[in-house]
């Protein structure tokens, strides 16, 4: 079982307490009714799906219930960092890629 560090509980918790919640750092367009179908498609459906470092939202649903962000390596499945919602992406030098 993976141990995931929850930035709100400030400790590692078993993965059974967590739920994945999609890609992180996707900003909802401010004028969503006014954008073109193509722009909406890019916002709504298109995800980066990288090989290497992916930034994801996770939720500690059976713990503190908070959403937070995580940087994870999609090759090794390793969590490289977790950080609170609203914080910037961490710099991850020398990892993955």
Which residues make up the interface to other proteins (CB under 8 A)? 1, 8-11, 13-14, 16-17, 62-66
d(CA 8, CA 92): 21
79 contact partners, CB below 8 Å, separation of at least 6: 2, 4, 5, 70, 71, 72
Closest distance of CB 12 from other proteins, Å? 9
Closest distance of CB 68 from other proteins, Å? 11
Q: Which strand (E) or helix (H) includes residue 43?
A: helix 37-44
Give 15 or 41: the residue with its C-beta nearer to other proteins.
15
Give 11 or 41: the residue with its C-beta nearer to other proteins.
11
């Amino acid at each position: 079982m993976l141990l995931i560090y929850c930035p709100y509980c400030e400790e590692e918790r078993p993965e059974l307490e967590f739920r994945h919640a999609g890609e992180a750092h996707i900003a909802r367009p401010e004028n969503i009714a006014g954008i073109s179908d193509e722009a909406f498609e890019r916002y709504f459906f298109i995800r980066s799906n990288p090989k290497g470092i992916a930034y994801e939202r996770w939720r500690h649903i059976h713990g503190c219930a908070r959403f937070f962000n995580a940087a994870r390596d999609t090759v090794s499945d390793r969590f490289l960092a977790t950080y609170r919602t609203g914080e910037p992406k961490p710099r991850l030098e020398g990892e993955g890629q």
